[in-house]
C-alpha cells in the first residue's frame, strides 16, 4: 500500500512538473524583442527581411510590368470619384499621380453628374505634408449639420488608427486658428452645436481601456482648453470603449452615448432633459438610428419582451416617444430566415434603405413609415453581385447606389426625388472578362455544414487539376465576403489563366448572427474546417491540386490562413498572410487585441487558452513539418494588429529551417499602404509571389 502511494505521489509530481515545464515553454518567448515596434534591433531585422524578399520578388517575370500597370489603374482618371452628399455640395477624397497623398475636394450635384466635373480643392494633403514636415494620411471628416461649413478633419501619421483631429473651415479652406483640436490618439469628436462638441480621447493616465480606446466621454466648449472639458460618463478599463454619436434628423437631434462592454455587447444611453437615460434593449443588440422618431434596433439573439418574441437577426423599431413612456411593443421591419441577413440600413429624409443578403446575394429595399406602418418596395438589382447605398441625403430623398460583381465593372447610380434611377458613373473594363464565368458552389465541412463559395474561372477551363487557383476568405466579426469587381485580381490573375475562389465560411455575416456566433471562441475551428473543406472541394473537382493552390487572407483572415496552413500544409503551395493575428497567447496584450476577446477568447483564462493553443499558428508551427513558402506582409504603422505577430512567426519559422518571405511597409497602417505607389508595389509583390509558387 505504501509503495502504491509513493508511486501515485511520484506520478502526480511528475505530471505537475511536466505541466509547469510546458507552461514555462509557452511563456518563454525568445522573439519578444520583435514586439518593440520601433526598436533599433527590430527595425534592422525588418530591413534585412525586406531586402531579401524584394530581391526575390522583383526578379520575377513581369514584376515591373505589373507594378506600372497597377499604378496606372489606381491613378486612372476613369475611376469612380465616390460622392459624399453634405448640404449643398458633393465631397470626395481623391488620389492620383499628381496628388500622391490625396486631395479633399467638393463640387455641386449638377456638376458632379457631368462626365468630367470641375472640382474645388479644399485640402491638399501633399502640400500639407510639405508645409508641416509630416507624412500625413487623410482619415476622413465629421461635418457640422446642417450647413456643413465646419468640419473636424482627421489625419494620421502613416495611416495608423491613432489620429490628430483638427477643425477646418470649408469656406476659407483653412484650419481654424484656435479651433477644436485633439492631439494624436484613438479618439474622435461629435458636434453638438457649432460651439460645443462631445469628445473622447486620451485624457492622460487611466483614461483608456485595456484595448487602448477612450473610456471617458466629455463635453467641450469652444474657447476653453481640452482640460476644462466636462466629464459626462466613465466606463471601465475592461470595456472596449466609450463614445458619443450625434444623430441629426429633420425631426430633432438625438445625443447617444455608447459604452461597449465587449465587442458584441454595449449599454446605450440618450440624453433627455440633461440626463443620461439607458436604453432598455439586450446588451448584444445593435442600436441603429432614429428615423421619423422611430428607434431602430437589430437583434443578435432572440428577445422576449412584453410577451412577444422577436427573432434573432430581425430589424425592429418603436416610437421613441412611446418608448420613453414605457411602451415596449416593437414593429418588425425585416425578419431574415436561415439563409438571409440584414446587413445595414441608412436613411434619407423619407426613406429607410435596408440592405439584405439572401444566399450571399444582395437585395435592397426602400421602406416608408406611413400611418404607423412600414411599407416596403424591393429595388431591382442590375445583377447578382453587391448592390448597396453609397451616400443618402438627409435633406431629400436622393441617394447614390453602387453595383459590382466579379466580372461587371463597378457602376454608380443616382436616385432622385423626381426621376428614375440612372447610371451616372462607370468603371472601364480593366480586364477582359468575355471568356470568364462565375459559379456558386458548395463544400461540406467536417461537421456536415454546407459552406457556399464563389468560383471565377475561364469558360474553357480544363478540370485536370493543373489550374493555378487562389482561395480567399475571412470568417470573422460578422463580416461577409461578397462578390466585387477587383481590377487587379482580374488583370493579373484571371486574365493570365488563374482561377479565383471566395469562401463564405462561418464566423462571417453571410447568414446572420447565428452563422457568426457558431464559430466564436471554443468553436473557432469551424472557420478553419469550412475553409479546408472548400480547398478540398476545389481539389476533388480537379479544378486544382495542392501544387497549384494558394490561399490569402488579411487581419482576421491572416489568422485564418495561418491556422489552416499550420494544420494542413500539404493542401497548399502558396500562402499570402497579411496584417495577421498569429500569436493567440499574447494577442490580447498587443495594441487593440483585448477588444477581440469576445471573438476569440481570453488566453489568460486556462480553459480558454486550452482551445486557443490548439490552433494558434505561432504555437503550432513545428520544425519537422513541411510548409509552403509563406509570404507574410504587415506595416510598422499598424496600430490595430501588432506587426509583432508576423515578425515573430517569420523569425520562429526561419530558425526552424523553414523558408518564408516577409515584407513590412514602414507606413500604411492596417491597410499596409497609404499612397497609390505603395499599393502598386504591394500588389506587384503579391502576384509575383503567387505566380512564382503556383504557375
Residues marked active site are found at 555, 670
The answer to whether residues 531 and 506 touch, using CB atoms and an 8 Å cutoff, is no
The answer to whether residues 470 and 534 touch, using CB atoms and an 8 Å cutoff, is no
Distances 631 to 472, 561, 583, 643 between C-alpha atoms, Å: 15, 11, 17, 14
Task: Name the strand (E) or helix (H) holding 551.
Answer: strand 549-554
On the 0-12 / 13-18 / 19+ scale of CB atoms within 10 A, 278 is: exposed
Rounded to 5 degrees, φ, ψ at 339 are -115, 25
Which distant-in-sequence residues (6+ apart) come within 8 Å of 242 by Cβ? 200, 209, 214, 215, 216, 217, 233, 234, 235, 257, 258, 259, 260
The answer to whether residues 412 and 401 touch, using CB atoms and an 8 Å cutoff, is yes
**Alpha-carbon Rg for the chain in angstroms:** 26
How far is Cα 290 from Cα 347, in angstroms, rounded to an integer? Answer: 9
How far is Cα 260 from Cα 209, in angstroms, rounded to an integer? Answer: 11
How far is Cα 344 from Cα 337, in angstroms, rounded to an integer? Answer: 16
Distances 515 to 246, 506, 603 between C-alpha atoms, Å: 31, 5, 24
Nearest-5° angle of CA 355, CA 358, CA 362?
A: 40
Query: Which one, of 151, 167, 234, lies nearest residue 200 by Cα?
Result: 234
How far is Cα 521 from Cα 442, in angstroms, rounded to an integer? Answer: 25
Fill in the DSSP letter of residue 632: E
Distances 438 to 319, 456, 536 between C-alpha atoms, Å: 44, 5, 19
How far is Cα 278 from Cα 267, in angstroms, rounded to an integer? Answer: 7
How far is Cα 561 from Cα 564, in angstroms, rounded to an integer? Answer: 5
Tally of CB atoms within 10 A around 211: 22
C-alpha cell at position 245: 454619436
Amino acid at each position: 500500500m505504501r509503495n502504491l502511494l509513493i508511486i501515485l505521489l511520484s506520478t502526480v509530481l511528475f505530471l505537475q512538473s511536466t505541466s509547469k515545464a510546458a507552461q514555462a515553454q509557452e511563456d518563454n518567448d525568445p522573439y519578444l524583442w520583435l514586439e518593440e515596434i520601433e526598436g533599433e534591433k527590430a527595425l534592422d531585422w525588418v530591413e534585412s527581411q525586406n531586402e531579401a524578399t524584394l530581391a526575390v520578388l522583383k526578379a520575377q517575370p513581369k514584376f515591373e510590368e505589373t507594378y506600372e500597370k497597377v499604378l496606372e489603374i489606381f491613378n486612372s482618371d476613369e475611376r469612380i470619384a465616390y460622392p459624399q452628399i453634405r448640404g449643398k455640395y458633393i465631397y470626395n477624397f481623391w488620389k492620383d499621380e499628381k496628388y500622391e497623398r490625396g486631395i479633399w475636394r467638393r463640387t455641386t450635384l449638377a456638376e458632379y453628374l457631368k462626365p468630367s466635373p470641375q472640382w474645388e480643392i479644399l485640402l491638399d494633403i501633399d502640400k500639407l505634408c510639405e508645409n508641416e514636415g509630416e507624412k500625413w494620411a487623410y482619415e476622413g471628416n465629421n461635418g457640422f449639420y446642417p450647413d456643413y461649413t465646419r468640419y473636424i478633419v482627421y489625419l494620421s501619421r502613416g495611416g495608423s488608427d491613432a489620429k490628430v483631429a483638427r477643425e477646418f473651415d470649408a469656406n476659407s479652406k483653412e484650419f481654424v486658428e484656435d479651433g477644436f483640436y485633439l492631439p494624436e490618439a484613438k479618439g474622435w469628436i461629435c458636434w453638438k452645436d457649432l460651439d460645443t462638441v462631445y469628445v473622447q480621447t486620451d485624457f492622460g493616465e487611466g483614461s483608456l481601456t485595456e484595448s487602448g480606446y477612450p473610456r471617458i466621454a466629455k463635453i467641450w466648449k469652444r474657447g476653453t482648453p481640452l482640460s476644462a472639458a466636462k466629464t459626462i460618463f466613465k466606463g471601465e478599463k475592461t470595456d472596449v470603449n466609450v463614445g458619443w454619436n450625434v444623430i441629426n434628423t429633420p425631426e430633432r437631434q438625438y445625443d447617444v452615448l455608447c459604452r461597449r462592454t465587449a465587442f458584441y455587447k454595449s449599454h446605450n444611453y440618450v440624453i433627455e432633459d440633461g440626463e443620461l437615460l439607458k436604453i432598455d434593449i439586450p446588451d448584444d443588440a445593435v442600436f441603429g438610428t432614429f428615423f421619423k422618431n422611430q428607434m431602430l434596433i437589430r437583434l443578435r439573439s432572440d428577445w422576449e419582451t412584453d410577451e412577444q418574441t422577436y427573432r434573432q437577426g430581425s430589424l425592429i423599431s418603436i416610437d421613441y416617444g412611446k418608448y420613453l413612456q414605457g411602451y415596449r411593443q416593437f414593429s418588425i421591419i425585416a425578419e431574415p430566415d436561415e439563409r438571409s441577413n440584414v446587413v445595414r440600413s441608412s436613411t434619407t429624409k423619407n426613406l429607410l434603405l435596408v440592405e439584405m443578403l439572401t444566399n450571399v446575394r444582395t437585395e435592397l429595399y426602400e421602406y416608408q413609415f406611413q400611418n404607423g406602418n412600414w411599407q416596403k418596395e424591393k429595388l431591382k438589382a442590375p445583377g447578382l453581385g453587391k448592390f448597396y447605398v453609397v451616400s443618402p441625403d438627409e435633406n431629400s430623398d436622393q441617394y447614390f447606389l453602387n453595383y459590382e460583381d466579379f466580372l461587371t465593372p463597378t457602376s454608380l447610380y443616382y436616385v432622385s426625388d423626381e426621376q428614375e434611377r440612372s447610371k451616372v458613373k462607370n468603371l472601364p473594363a480593366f480586364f477582359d472578362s468575355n471568356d470568364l464565368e462565375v459559379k456558386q458552389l458548395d463544400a461540406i465541412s467536417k461537421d456536415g455544414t454546407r459552406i457556399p463559395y464563389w468560383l471565377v474561372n475561364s469558360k474553357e477551363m480544363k478540370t485536370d487539376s493543373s489550374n493555378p487557383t487562389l482561395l480567399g476568405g475571412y470568417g470573422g466579426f460578422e463580416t461577409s465576403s461578397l462578390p466585387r469587381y477587383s481590377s487587379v485580381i482580374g488583370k493579373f490573375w484571371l486574365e493570365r489563366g488563374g482561377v479565383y475562389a471566395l469562401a463564405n465560411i462561418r464566423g462571417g455575416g453571410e447568414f446572420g448572427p447565428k452563422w457568426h456566433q457558431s464559430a466564436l471562441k471554443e468553436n473557432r475551428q469551424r472557420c478553419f474546417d469550412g475553409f479546408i473543406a472548400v480547398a478540398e472541394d476545389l481539389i476533388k473537382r480537379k479544378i486544382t491540386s495542392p501544387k497549384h493552390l494558394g490561399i490569402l487572407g488579411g487581419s482576421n483572415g491572416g489568422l485564418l490562413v495561418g491556422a489552416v496552413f499550420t494544420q494542413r500544409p500539404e493542401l497548399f503551395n502558396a500562402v499570402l498572410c497579411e496584417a495577421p493575428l498569429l500569436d493567440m497567447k499574447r494577442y490580447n496584450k498587443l495594441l487593440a487585441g483585448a477588444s477581440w476577446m469576445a471573438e476569440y477568447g481570453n488566453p489568460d483564462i486556462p480553459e480558454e487558452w486550452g482551445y486557443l493553443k490548439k490552433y494558434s499558428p505561432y504555437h503550432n508551427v513545428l520544425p519537422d513539418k513541411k510548409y509552403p513558402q509563406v509570404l507574410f506582409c504587415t506595416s510598422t504603422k499598424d496600430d490595430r494588429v501588432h506587426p509583432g505577430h508576423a515578425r515573430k512567426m517569420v523569425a520562429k519559422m526561419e530558425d526552424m529551417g523553414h523558408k518564408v518571405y516577409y515584407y513590412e511597409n514602414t507606413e500604411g497602417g492596417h491597410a499596409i499602404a497609404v499612397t497609390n505607389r505603395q499599393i502598386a508595389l504591394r500588389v506587384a509583390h503579391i502576384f509575383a509571389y503567387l505566380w512564382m509558387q503556383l504557375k
